[in-house]
Copies of this chain bind each other. A is one copy, B any other.
């Protein structure tokens, strides 16, 4: 999906919500345990209940890998269950030397090899240019590069400052030389609201993937005030607040209610910003 198509989906659905599909077997509603693959059934019902309210799904690969081969199969099956016109993100935080990153690109972008062809993959910047570029050789596929993350550990290195600014700023500046806003997004944690204004100076046109709204404490209105641009420019992720809204038989219905609340708030913001 290209940038224009993504913006069209945002206007159509009046939403820039990304639902994080991070299922933990121990947290699933008990009645799902009768299914052969409770995690897959959970994902399917969450997708059915939310697909008209969100523009993206983002499975985090850790939640699948921890279940071994069966988990990887569940990731494939989940990917294949995504509806058309959904922006799909493999939240994998990969990155390796060039020829190895090319293998990761195949893993998430080349369905002929891996049965999965996500629109985007999250990438860690530490290893630099050749660790990122192989992902960019696929047309209309995206790198979502970690810039300023929402966890407390972000302060260990990402804020390290030298004469040219902070490390996360250096990451953004350098990555902008590798790709334009048609293939490059950045991860910016919502718990860092005050930094959005600064980030928009560095990356005015790029979409930002924003985790941390909801369970991690970020504020949607503040993120939008400082982070929105003329193509919306934001994908706001919510995982736990939506998928674990209830752990009873009504989990999908409650997930929909939570997603709807967020979508309605987003609709108001899109109208106020004259984007719809």
Q: Which A residues contact B (CB, under 8 angstroms)?
A: 22, 60, 62-63, 65-69, 71-73, 76, 93-98, 100-101, 103-104, 106-107, 110, 113-116, 124-132, 146, 149-158, 160-163, 167, 170-171, 174
Contact = CB atoms under 8 A, between A and B. Distances in A.
A151 to B, nearest CB: 4
Given A62-B107, A95-B124, A150-B97, A113 B68 contact: yes
Given A66-B113, A68-B115, A151-B130, A160 B158 contact: no
Contacts of A60: 96, 100, 103
A184 to B, nearest CB: 15
5 contacts: A62-B101, A62-B103, A65-B107, A127-B153, A128-B153
Number of copies of chain A assembled together: 2
B167 A157 contact: yes
Contact of A157 (B76, B94, B153, B171): B171
Contact of A154 (B127, B149, B157): B127
A128 B114 contact: no
A190 to B, nearest CB: 13
Contacts of A126: 124-126, 146, 149, 157-158
Contacts of A95: 93, 124
A62 B107 CA distance: 8
A153 B124 contact: no
A63 B103 contact: yes
